[in-house]
């Protein structure tokens, strides 16, 4: 998966129309909530084949943190 594909997937998960980049703070995405975080856990497991727990995702501050966890 490319970085652009990851960003597109994260945009869809959050259900936002806001432009998301690696530097975006998750707290700055109005639609980022616990449901988006749980959906991100599923995304990691199903599409990236990586195990990550909700607590880890909730501790992340930026999109870049998520990308690092995804190996991008």
Provide the residue range defining the domain that includes 65.
Answer: 3-70
- Number of Cβ within a 10 Å radius of residue 40: 24
Q: What are phi and psi of 47, to 5 degrees?
A: -95, -35
CA–CA distance, 72 with 47 (Å, rounded to integer): 14
User: Using one digit for the tens of pLDDT, what is the confidence trace for 18-50?
Assistant: 899 999 999 999 999 999 999 999 999 999 999
Would you state the pLDDT for residue 54? 93
User: Whole-model pTM?
Assistant: 0.88
User: Using one digit for the tens of pLDDT, what is the confidence trace for 45-65?
Assistant: 999 999 999 999 999 999 999
Would you state the pLDDT for residue 3? 95
CATH number where 14 lies: 1.10.1200.10
Q: How many domains in the chain?
A: 1
């Amino acid at each position: 998966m490319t970085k652009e594909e990851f960003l597109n997937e994260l945009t869809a998960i959050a259900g936002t129309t806001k432009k998301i980049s690696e530097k975006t703070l998750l707290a700055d995405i109005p639609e980022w909530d616990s449901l988006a975080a749980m959906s991100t856990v599923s995304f990691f497991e199903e599409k990236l084949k990586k195990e990550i727990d909700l607590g880890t995702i909730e501790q992340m501050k930026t999109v870049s943190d998520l990308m690092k966890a995804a190996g991008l």
